[in-house]
Amino acid sequence: MAATSTIVIDRPKGTSHPRYPDSIYPVDYGYLRDTASMDGSGIDVWVGTGLCSIDAIICVAELVKGDSEIKILIDCTKEEKRLIFGVHNETENMKGVLVRSRHGHKMAWTRRCVMR
């Protein structure tokens, strides 16, 4: 799915969260166009600066909203994964579990990103 979808970056690295201005995105964040997650929005992605692969996801539970989501980590370095894990575990209201593959899924695709 990620190999054939356009990645829309709607929260670039260094920008603040629209509702929580003290929360800064340490890595580009967005979604896969023409996909749907459990909340009806596009499937969320973190897009890093590493090689062209997907080797991790983060499973997130938002305890106040009673919601959970899976976010795909695309091209993320080890340090970027650590930063993303921190974002999803910095408050008591949200907890994330990083799930890594021992062997990254090597993707034969050209990244198609759109900045919003």
pLDDT at position 9 is: 95
pLDDT tens profile 39-85: 788 999 999 998 767 889 999 998 888 888 999 999 999 999 999 99
pLDDT at position 112 is: 58
pLDDT at position 82 is: 96
pLDDT at position 113 is: 57
> What global pTM score does this model have?
0.84
| More confident of the two residues 13 and 90 | 13
pLDDT tens profile 20-45: 899 899 999 999 998 888 778 899 99
Question: How many whole angstroms separate alpha carbon 72 and alpha carbon 94?
Answer: 17
Identify the sign of the CA torsion 80, 84, 86, 90.
positive
Taking residues 9-27, report their average pLDDT: 93
CA 45 vs. chain centroid, Å, equals 3
What confidence tier does 104 reach under pLDDT thresholds 50, 70, 90?
Answer: low
pLDDT at position 12 is: 97
| CB burial of residue 107 (10 Å; 0-12, 13-18, 19+) | middle
Class assignment of domain 7-115? Answer: alpha beta
Residue 92: which residues within 8 A CB-CB, separation 6 or more? 63
